Every structure is written in C-alpha cells, then in structure tokens.
Chain A
Amino acid sequence: MDFSFTEEQSMLRDTVAAYLADHYDFDKRRAAVSKEPGWRPDVWKAFAEELGILGAPFSEELGGLGGGAIENMVVMEEFGKALVVEPYLGTVVIGGGFLKHSGHAGAADMIGGIIEGKTIFAFAYAEPKGRYNLAALETTAKKDGAGWTLNGHKAVVLGAPFATHLIVTARTSGGVRDAGGVSVFIVEKGAKGVTTRDYPTVDGNRASEVYFENVSLGADALVGPADGGLPLVEKVVDEAIAATCAEACGVLRKLHEGTLEYTKQRKQFGVPISSFQVLQHRMVDMFINVEQAVSMTYMANIKVGDDAERAKAASAAKVQIGKACKFVGQNAIQLHGGMGMTDEMAIGHYFKRATMIESAFGSVDHHLARYELLSLGKAA
C-alpha cells in the first residue's frame, strides 16, 4: 500500500502550481472570465507547449507523459485551487478518454491534436429532459448510407464555446431511456447543421445549448460500438467524475484555508473570531469534510481503471464530495460574514464553483441511487 506520489507526479504538480501562481491569480482569472471569449487561449497554448500537461494521461507512444488517472487528479486538484476554466476536463479527460478506450482508427492523430493544444473537445451528453441519466437520449443518429444523420438538442454543454469538436451521445435505436441503442459520435463544431447558443455560467465558466439539424456524419464519426456505446460512456463519465472530485479537493482546500486565515484576522469583541469555540468546531468539521473528500478522491482515482470496481467507487466519491462541497462551501461564506457575500473576495467564487460541482455528472441523490443499485448487484 502506498499513497505517495512518484517523483514525476510531484514534479507535474509543482510545474502546474508554479505556472498558475505566476499566470492565474484571482484578479487575472476574474478579468478573463468576465469578458469575451471567457477563457485564455494563450494559457491553453502554454499548457500544451511550455508545460506539456495536455499529454499527462496519454502513453508515450502517443506523445504523452505516460500517465493516467493519477496524473489527471494531480492536474485537476491544482486547477481547482486556481479555479481554472480552460477545458482540460472536456478535452484531455473526456475527449482523450473516449479516444483512448474506443480503439477509434483516428485516435492517435486526434490525441496528437489534443496534446498540441489544437483539438479541443466539449462533451455534449446532457439533454433538457434527461436529468443525470446518461441513456436518456432524444438526440438521434440515423444510419444514412455509410454514415449517419444527427438531430437533437444538447443542454448546458460546458466549454462548448471554446471547442473545435464535440463528443455527442445519441440514440441509434431503442426507446428514449433504453440502455441499448446508445452511440457516441465525434462532431466538428463547425459542421453544417450545428448551431450553438453560448452563455456564461454562474461559476464563471462558459457553456452552450447545442442544436443539431440534419448534420451529416461520416462512418468514422462513430466512436466505440454502434448501439452498444453506453458502457463506454459510463466508463469515461466515471473517469470525469474522478477528475472532477480532484478539482473539488482543490476548491475545498482553498475554502477551508481561506476561512482559517480570515477568522484569525477578523476581530470582534476584541478578539479574533477564530478564538470562539463554536467557530473552531465548525472549522474542524470543515477540515474533516475536506480530508474525507481527499480520501475518497484518491480511492476513486486508484480504482477508476478497474472496470469491476470503477462505477461504485466513482459514485461513492461523488456522494462524499457533493456533501463536502455543500457543507464546506456554505460554512466558508457563513464564517466570512458579510465579506463572504461580496464579489470582491475570492471565497464566494470558490463557493459558486463548489456548488456547481455538487451536481456535476449527477447530484448526491443520483449517485446514492446508483450506488444502492450497484450494491444490490444491479446494473445502474
């Protein structure tokens, strides 16, 4: 048993942390997200060219750093600490995940594009009436000669305004919530028939409603098996959950640290408010929440490569992290008092991100239900 990081992993963390400290402080981040285009392509270029981190979870043959889930975890935790909005999750973890696991003929080329920073993915899976059910798809792809014709509407596609390509889940057969009949496609965002409505999100990210109207796809757009794509989708989403949990750990640590720091400085009744026992116990409970979240994140990232344990591990971690995001986020604001309510202080921005992570890829309820079903030996 070993919970330590390798030298390479520690170096990766230090490299990312040092870069973000120099280029991604709170004011720079806020300035970038509050105006168009809502992200910094120059930072993305630096991720690719200076830091080389866009290849973190890819094999060396593909031009990557030879890592996997743990490397994603390291990067995502640092990103959480700086509230990074650039699309690492959508591109490297999710886009890269589909390409790695599907055996797609163009995978090596496209992963090359990811590593170079030229190919950027957004994951178009959610639908207006689907909630968190990955198979609840009204978007359809109909066979058309060798290729497919895509129609539908995808909801709140994070990072879509920055993307060159979309990973789209669609129904190729069966009823709206059937596990069978799900297929995955890569769609160029500029393809004819693709339209987007772009907007900011409450936590400083960008997203789009994406509409497909008779979009013609070639045979090579299909990723993974036709009709049998759901297990692939679940696998990649579980990896995305493990990475999102790591981002949450970064966010949670900042919420907790910021609160400790503030309560030590803030004086009322002639003493620092950190000297009040009721606030001390609250901060201890926040600390316990953070530590439990970190533990579950390690667990999930260690197990996410093992298909027998992956799903349960991801759902368990997401439940723990969702609860921690609520408790730590809300109490960080509470203990900052009025100052916590201001846009000027970073703490509120961490709280907003924590709140969005609570429901990312499924709420606490969704993952509790999935965990229960998996525990009973049923497919979720």
Chain B
Amino acid sequence: MNLDFTPEENAFRDEVRAFIAENYPAELRKAQDEGRALTKEEYLLWHKVLAKKGWVAPGWPKELGGTGWTPTQKYIWSEETARADCLGLLPFGLSMLAPVLYTFGTDEQKKKFLPGIYNGDVWWCQGYSEPGAGSDLASLKTKAERITADDGKEYYIVNGQKTWTTLGQHADWGFFLVRTDPDAKPQSGISFLLIDMKTPGIEVRRITTLEGGHEVNDVFLDNVKVPVENRIFHENQGWTCAKALLAHERSGIAGVARSKRNLEKLRTISSTERSDTGSSLLSDAFFRRKVAELEIDLTALEFTELRTLAGESSGKGPGPESSILKIKGTEIQQRLQELALEAVGHYGAPFLRDLGGNAAGVGPDYAEGLAGEMFNGRKTSIYGGSNEIQRNIIAKMVLGL
C-alpha cells in the first residue's frame, strides 16, 4: 500500500497541466470569471477542444474513443482540471447516456449516436423524473403506445410530462424512460427511448429555481412520434438501463477535486476578509476550526473515493458503496458553499443579477453570487437519488438490513 506517483504519472501530470494552460479557451475563462450564465456555444467550447485532443471521454472503452487511462491517471486528470478551474463537461451525453449506449445499444445505435456525443455536436438531456415520480422513479407514468403508421413503420406515441430536465432548453436529443406496459409491475413495464427534441408535440418549459436561475425545465410530450429503432435494449426492460445509468451518475458525484479547489477559494476569501477584531477571518479561532474540520472531512472522502477507484480498476463496477460518495460529496459541497457565504458577511446579501450584466459589483468580486450558489447547491442532496434514498441503498445493499 502506498500513495506514490510513478515518474510516468508525474510526467502525465505535467503534460495535462501544460495542455490546459495552452488550450483552455480564453473566452470561456472570461465568461466564467464574469460569473454569467453561459451560452450553448460556450458550454461546448472546452468539450470540443478535448474531443479534438482525444481526451473528452476518459471513461469510455478505448476502442470507442476512451483514453485508456489508469484510475490514477483519471484521478490526476480530474485534479488538474479542477485545479485550473476548467468548466465541468456536460454529463448528459458523455457519462450518462454513453455507458448505456455502449453497454445495451445495437451496433447501429452506437454508430449513429456516439460520435455526436463525443464531438459535442449533439446536446442531450435526461427525461427521467416526473411530477409524481421522483425518489420513486419506477412509478413513472409517461406512456408510449406502439403503433404501425401509414408509412408501414412502427412508432411509439409518447404522452406525458417529465420534469427537472437540466439544461433541456438547449437540448437536441433526450433520453427518456417511458411506460410501455401499463399492466406490468412498475419496474418491468418501462422502456428506454431516444427522442429528437425537435419532434412535433414536445414543449420545453422553464422552471425558475429559488436563486432565480434557469437550469431545469418541464418537458411536455403530446402525441410525440418516436421510431421504434430509437429504443435502447428490449421493450419493457428499460429499467435495466436506468439502473446502470444511475450507478454511473453516482460515481462521479463525489466532486472531490472540485471541492478541493473550492476549499482553496474559501481559504483565499477568508484570508482576505476581516474578522471582528480586524485580523484575517481565517485566523479567527471559530472560523478556522470549521475550515479545518471540513478539510479533514474532505480528505476522508478523497481516500474513500481512491479506495473505490482502486476497486473499480481491479474489475468491480461502481457498487452500492458509491452512495457513500454521493452523500458525503454533496454534504461537503454544501458546507463549502455555506462557509463561503458566511465568510463574506454583509456582502452575501446583494442580488445584482436582475439589474443586467453590466451592473457594477457591490462589495468584493468574490462575494457576488455566493448566496445564489449556496441556494442552488441545496439541489445536490436531492437529485440523482436523494441522500435519504442513498442511505436506503446502503442499508439494503451494503448492510443487508
């Protein structure tokens, strides 16, 4: 057991660091620094740079475009991208749909859809949750009836409503869970469909979140006609795909590298801010203790994640233990957001977003948007299977209770 990096791994780190420094899009950096909502094109700038380099999908099998990196290299990659504050890649295609496609899809489906995901030419969104089906996802009601149309081809006619569709306002395609057998047990009558978002009958409607942002949407489907060949895996067996996807969704969710980066930001902010006595806030006994506790908690999470990664590289897939990563990862992210807001004191209150992009700041630049981030961050313990559901998974699958 050791924690040393080999000379090759250190060389890899240098290579990654140099690549980011030379190739990270300047206009994206500027947009991030301004803290404004990104355009669709800006979201994909970094993705396209990485696709060209061949580094956009480290998790994919090598023959499909994966990098073939070892778990350690992947770890170095996520550390370096977080350290450089690179924009996170959109997960919908790359890490949510793609594993389902290459595990369950036909060769034709892989050929048709994987390149668009890899190159960032097609924006995907997720149609899973429904107003009545959140934690209890299997109770979903969106219905797909199979018909033979006048053109002699088979289609599903989809009707229903999906919700919490993240960045669905930009999506070209969506992957949806729909009920194809209303009489079967909840989990056995579901199918996994790929739907072109330009199909007539689809309406994407904005949901404004509590901090005022537009990230999630309702998606209404009214007699949406979907070719049967757009179904992944067997009819009525979509739950198998959904479960595989959720496991992948969880394994990336610890966000250790990003939290480390945010911890550094918190240190910078709190060493700039003044305490009541005029010293730096970071030297305040109460505050620095909280920062230290959080850092220790993050170290524990980091090593738990490394143990999980090591297990995966020896052939085990992400198991129910990954629920630990989701729970602790999101708790730490939320705590970081709370402490950053706490650090800036009075200047956590101003809300300048509605005054337009050109409004000059109030207070220090780093204070702007911290409250919004903290409010928005409450979603992380709710989405991807709420933290209560994650505890149920551990109780049942790990502890056997």
Flag if B378 contacts A333 (CB, 8 Å). yes
With A343-B209, A366-B276 already in contact, the answer to whether A200 and B351 are too (CB < 8 A) is yes
- Cα separation A133 to B376 with both chains bound (whole Å): 30
Flag if B275 contacts A131 (CB, 8 Å). yes
Collect the chain A residues with CB atoms within 8 Å of residue B139's CB.
Answer: 268-270
Q: Is A126 an interface residue (CB 8 A)?
A: yes
Flag if B135 contacts A268 (CB, 8 Å). yes
The B interface, classified by DSSP as helix, strand, loop or mixed, is mixed
- Cα separation A180 to B329 with both chains bound (whole Å): 48
Of B132, B210, B338, B346, which one neighbours A342 at CB under 8 angstroms? B210
Collect the chain A residues with CB atoms within 8 Å of residue B273's CB.
Answer: 131
Collect the chain A residues with CB atoms within 8 Å of residue B355's CB.
Answer: 199-200
Collect the chain A residues with CB atoms within 8 Å of residue B362's CB.
Answer: 156, 197, 199, 209
- Cα separation A220 to B374 with both chains bound (whole Å): 45
Collect the chain A residues with CB atoms within 8 Å of residue B375's CB.
Answer: 202, 348, 351-352, 355
Of B207, B342, B363, which one neighbours A363 at CB under 8 angstroms? B342
- Cα separation A269 to B134 with both chains bound (whole Å): 10
Collect the chain B residues with CB atoms within 8 Å of residue A177's CB.
Answer: 277-278
Flag if A128 contacts B363 (CB, 8 Å). yes
Among the listed stretches B153-161, B253-261, B380-388, which one makes contact with chain A, having 4 or more residues with CB under 8 Å of it?
B380-388
- Cα separation A201 to B363 with both chains bound (whole Å): 13
Of B210, B274, B342, which one neighbours A348 at CB under 8 angstroms? B210
- Cα separation A342 to B375 with both chains bound (whole Å): 11
Q: Is B180 an interface residue (CB 8 A)?
A: no
Instruction: Give A336's nearest chain B residue, CB to CB.
Output: B382
Q: Is B129 an interface residue (CB 8 A)?
A: yes
Tally of contact residues, B, Cβ under 8 A: 56
What per-residue 1/0 map shows which CB atoms of A251-289 lie under 8 Å from chain B? 000000000000000011110010010110000000000
- Cα separation A368 to B290 with both chains bound (whole Å): 14
- Cα separation A267 to B273 with both chains bound (whole Å): 46
- Cα separation A278 to B388 with both chains bound (whole Å): 8
Q: Is B192 an interface residue (CB 8 A)?
A: no
Q: Is B168 an interface residue (CB 8 A)?
A: no
Q: Is A203 an interface residue (CB 8 A)?
A: yes
Instruction: Give A176's nearest chain B residue, CB to CB.
Output: B278
Collect the chain B residues with CB atoms within 8 Å of residue A128's CB.
Answer: 347, 363
Flag if B383 contacts A207 (CB, 8 Å). no
- Cα separation A158 to B351 with both chains bound (whole Å): 13
Flag if B381 contacts A334 (CB, 8 Å). yes
- Cα separation A374 to B372 with both chains bound (whole Å): 35
Instruction: Give B285's nearest chain A residue, CB to CB.
Output: A369
Collect the chain B residues with CB atoms within 8 Å of residue A337's CB.
Answer: 134-135, 382, 386
Instruction: Give A135's nearest chain B residue, CB to CB.
Output: B276
Q: 10 pairs across A/B with beta carbons < 8 Å?
A: A133-B277, A197-B362, A199-B351, A200-B354, A207-B349, A326-B338, A338-B134, A344-B208, A355-B374, A366-B276
Smallest CB-CB A-B distances: 7 pairs: A348-B210, A268-B136, A343-B208, A133-B276, A156-B346, A365-B286, A202-B371
